[in-house]
């Protein structure tokens, strides 16, 4: 189970490293194997490479297990991607999650392959750490087609270790697991996770573990056990509630309620916090899914 971490934001708009470190500690204690900071859930496209590298360095200084972090590269700029990869390697991260260059929505598969070639060439022709492809075409407008993945495997060999498929399309994710048994295939959608695990997939890199890690890790540990169906159903209810209330800002509102810390409500502009009425409706949806907030009667 890999949590796609939220990013706490200070009142000055900077990455709140102390809260982030505390959150990572909670995720690991709940059972997550790895954490992926600064992806879509972590507002990674809103923070500069300089900010993210400084935050990763501060996490290292604070004792975070860097070999359990998989930071994301979310920039279409080649130099930014290279800088993110270099930071992850220099700081001892386990791998880097790379979104395709997204601004030019008509970018060809050849162009994306060239982007990877140019990135690797900045490191003497070989990536300095493992790479997971981040396939999220709803946001990037371009993605990693099967033939492109085959080309990247042929060129970058053992450094290309996995794909995160955030399409939410069960058939597509299962196709990837069948087509690329040599890669670790992850879903970004809790509802696809059970079928992916049954097909031999690696698991999930997702946002719901930010608030539901304990139950999701229990499901991951025993996906066919006696409580698996209930865990699966409750997770599905919660992800629907999160999606209906704004995704990232909804997860932040639930995290704020769990932690008793209203600072978690803050996103970075252009996102805005979930309004009070939305928070109330969201929390009620979670309660109806048998989610118990601290301090409330069971």
User: Domain spanning 2-223: which CATH class is it, in words?
Assistant: alpha beta
Per-residue pLDDT of 162-215, as tens digits, reads 999 999 999 999 999 999 999 999 999 988 999 999 999 999 999 999 999 999
Per-residue pLDDT of 242-267, as tens digits, reads 999 999 999 999 999 999 999 999 99
pTM score, whole prediction: 0.95
Domain boundaries, the chain: 2-223
Residue 104 has pLDDT above 80, yes or no: no
Q: Cα 8–84–14 angle (5° rounding)?
A: 25
Instruction: Name which of 255, 249, 211 is nearest 3 in CA terms.
Output: 211
């Amino acid at each position: 189970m890999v949590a796609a971490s939220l990013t706490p934001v200070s009142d000055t708009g900077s990455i709140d490293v102390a809260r982030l470190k505390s959150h990572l500690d909670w995720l690991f204690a709940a059972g997550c194997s790895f954490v992926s900071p600064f992806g879509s859930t972590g507002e990674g496209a809103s923070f500069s490479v300089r900010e993210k590298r400084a935050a990763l360095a501060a996490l290292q200084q604070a004792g975070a297990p860097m070999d359990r972090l998989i930071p994301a590269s979310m920039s279409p700029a080649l130099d930014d991607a290279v800088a993110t990869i270099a930071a992850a390697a220099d700081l001892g991260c386990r791998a880097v999650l790379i979104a395709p260059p997204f601004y030019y929505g008509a970018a060809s598969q050849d162009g994306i392959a060239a982007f990877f070639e140019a990135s690797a060439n900045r490191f003497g022709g070989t990536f300095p750490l493992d790479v997971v492809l981040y396939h999220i075409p709803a946001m990037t407008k371009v993605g990693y087609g099967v033939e492109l993945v085959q080309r990247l495997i042929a060129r970058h060999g053992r450094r290309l270790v996995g794909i995160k498929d955030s399409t939410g399309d069960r058939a597509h994710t299962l196709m990837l697991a069948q087509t690329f048994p040599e890669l670790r295939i992850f879903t970004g959608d809790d509802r696809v996770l059970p079928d992916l695990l049954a097909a031999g997939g690696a698991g999930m890199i997702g946002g719901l573990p930010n608030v539901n890690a304990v139950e999701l890790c229990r499901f991951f540990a025993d996906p066919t056990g006696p409580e698996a169906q209930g865990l699966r159903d409750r997770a599905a209810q919660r992800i629907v509630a999160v999606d209906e209330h704004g995704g990232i800002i909804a997860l932040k509102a639930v995290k704020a309620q769990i932690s008793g810390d209203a600072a978690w409500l803050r996103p970075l502009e252009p996102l805005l916090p979930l309004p009070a009425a939305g928070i109330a409706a969201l929390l009620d949806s979670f309660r109806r899914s048998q989610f118990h907030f601290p301090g409330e009667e069971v």
